[in-house]
């Protein structure tokens, strides 16, 4: 039988497991700094849910844009005069949210594929840099396409 170790013994202190405490959602979470890679992971999930929830609207937009000239005119009028009880500004904001969700999900998905295929890309530095690239690319293209959607150019 192995000898029992005392708390004053250096072997016991060195092998002692770390103690974890429960976090308080009101005091600990606001001060927690989430890494950029973690933020991109959360945004990837949010954008996927948004695309899934708005899938009927996406299908309606696709159907109205391709069915006939009359339905395409109705499609275009949704962006100028509104749709049902929603004014055109709200329709454009929903489409802008869809644009962001698609771009965010697309670029984050490419990032995940690259990390899965390239074993050299699995490092903390690459994770941070690629997450920043995804965030910048998706936001920049969203701003450019949003400016076009709202008629700024």
118 within some domain: yes
pLDDT, position 48: 95
- Kindly state whether residue 138 falls inside one of the protein's structural domains: yes
Report the pLDDT value the prediction gives residue 140, as an integer from 0 to 100. 97
8 A C-beta contact, residue 149 and residue 90: no
Q: 14 in a domain, yes or no?
A: no
CB 34 within 8 A of CB 28: no
- Please check whether residue 42 lies inside any domain of the structure: yes
In a domain, residue 87? The reply is yes
Task: Give the pLDDT of residue 55.
Answer: 93
Number of domains in the chain: 1
4 occurs within a structural domain? no
What is residue 1's predicted lDDT score, i.e. its pLDDT? 55
Q: Does a structural domain hold residue 145?
A: yes
pLDDT on residue 153? 84
Interatomic CA distance for residues 73 and 81, integer angstroms: 11
Domain enclosing residue 63, as ranges: 36-149
**For each of the chain's 153 residues, which pLDDT tens digit applies?**
555 555 565 555 556 777 777 777 777 777 778 889 889 999 999 999 999 998 998 898 888 888 888 888 888 888 888 878 888 889 899 999 999 999 999 999 999 898 888 876 678 888 889 999 999 999 999 999 999 988 888
Whether 68 is in a domain gets the answer: yes
Q: What's 137's domain CATH number?
A: 1.20.1300.10
pLDDT given at position 52: 95
């Amino acid at each position: 039988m192995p000898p029992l170790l005392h708390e004053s013994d250096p072997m016991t202190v060195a092998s002692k497991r770390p103690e974890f405490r429960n976090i308080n959602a009101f005091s600990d979470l606001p001060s927690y700094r989430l890494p950029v890679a973690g933020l991109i992971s959360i945004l990837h999930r949010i954008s996927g849910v948004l695309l899934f929830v708005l899938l009927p609207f996406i299908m309606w937009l696709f159907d109205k844009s391709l069915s006939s000239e009359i339905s395409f005119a109705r499609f275009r009028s949704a962006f100028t005069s509104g749709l049902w009880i929603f004014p055109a500004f709200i329709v454009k904001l929903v489409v802008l949210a869809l644009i962001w969700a698609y771009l965010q999900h697309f670029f984050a998905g490419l990032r995940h594929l690259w990390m899965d295929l390239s074993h050299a890309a699995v490092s903390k530095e690459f994770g941070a840099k690629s997450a920043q690239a995804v965030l910048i690319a998706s936001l920049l293209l969203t701003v450019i396409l949003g400016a076009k959607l709202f008629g700024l150019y």
